[in-house]
């Protein structure tokens, strides 16, 4: 059965589909010695290489919950100083599920299962992500209701979300979408500057390790995650 080349690279655990498309566009991927194009199909008997190295299927997938520190960039590009791959120094090739901007800290999932990356990131799946945010001035009485009902940023309006005040300058927010620097932009719209931002949950996975440390997902967490993803 034939599989699209970007899906193949994600299924065998080489990278996410988005990263696969980037590699294909840079002519770094070959199928049976010929440079691959977006949309090319791969058969089971085909030989696929990336930058001259054979890519083979494997099933020893790892699923990791990392507490990313401030200052680390969510990228697999090791030319970028402070990238998440160099920071972790993990012995296998892994990649991040989504992003957490350099100025933020908290939970980010790392894996070599490219398919799970796509399922979690699909906007239409509306998977929850929870954050704790500290701002630079006292929150107004109606802040939570205004923030939760949709905010105009990036030429669109954010989806309704859950917002709970935790203190004079602190709140919890649960999003089901992931625009670029979304929470910071939402706060800026109402005149607040973000002092600190920490992601504490992705779907059923909660943050419970110190900053800079990581752990493997438990079997129970993996099974629940897979069921939420219909995987």
* pLDDT at position 124: 61
Q: Which CATH number fits domain 3-54: 3.90.440.10, 3.40.50.2300, 3.10.290.10, 3.40.50.150?
A: 3.10.290.10
pLDDT digits (tens, 9 = 90+) for 131-171: 999 999 999 999 999 999 999 999 999 999 999 999 999 99
* pLDDT at position 131: 98
Which residues are part of the catalytic machinery? 101
Query: 7 Cβ partners below 8 Å, 6+ apart?
Result: 17, 115
Query: 107 Cβ partners below 8 Å, 6+ apart?
Result: 65, 66, 67, 68, 100, 199, 200, 201, 202, 205, 206, 207
Q: Domain 128-202: which topology?
A: Alpha-Beta Plaits (3.30.70)
CATH 3.30.70.1560 positions along the chain are: 128-202
Residue 53 has pLDDT above 90, yes or no: no
* pLDDT at position 122: 72
* pLDDT at position 123: 58
Phi and psi angles of residue 158, each rounded to the nearest 5 degrees, phi first:
-65, 155
Q: What is the pTM of this model?
A: 0.78
CATH 3.10.290.10 positions along the chain are: 3-54
pLDDT band at 231 (very low <50, low <70, confident <90, very high): low
Q: Domain 63-123+208-228: which topology?
A: Alpha-Beta Plaits (3.30.70)
């Amino acid at each position: 059965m034939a599989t699209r080349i970007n899906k193949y690279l994600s299924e065998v655990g080489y990278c996410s589909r988005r990263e696969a498309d980037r590699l294909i566009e840079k002519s770094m991927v070959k199928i049976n010695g010929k440079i691959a194009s977006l949309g090319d199909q791969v058969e089971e008997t085909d030989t696929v290489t990336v930058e001259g190295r054979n890519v083979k299927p494997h099933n020893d997938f790892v699923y990791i919950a990392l507490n990313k520190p401030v200052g680390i960039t969510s990228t697999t590009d090791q030319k970028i100083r402070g990238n998440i791959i160099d920071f972790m120094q993990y012995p296998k090739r892994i990649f991040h599920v989504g992003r957490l901007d350099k100025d933020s800290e908290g939970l980010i999932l790392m894996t070599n299962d490219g398919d799970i990356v796509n399922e979690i990131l699909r906007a239409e799946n509306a998977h929850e992500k929870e954050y704790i945010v500290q701002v630079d001035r006292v929150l107004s009485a109606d802040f939570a209701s205004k923030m939760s009902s949709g905010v105009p940023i990036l030429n669109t309006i954010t989806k309704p979300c859950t917002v709970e005040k935790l203190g004079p300058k602190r709140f919890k927010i649960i999003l089901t979408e992931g625009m670029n620097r979304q929470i910071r932009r939402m706060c800026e719209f109402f005149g607040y500057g973000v002092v600190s931002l920490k992601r504490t949950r992705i779907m059923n996975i909660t943050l419970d390790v110190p900053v800079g440390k990581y752990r493997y997902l438990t079997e129970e967490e993996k099974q629940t995650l897979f069921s939420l993803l219909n995987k």
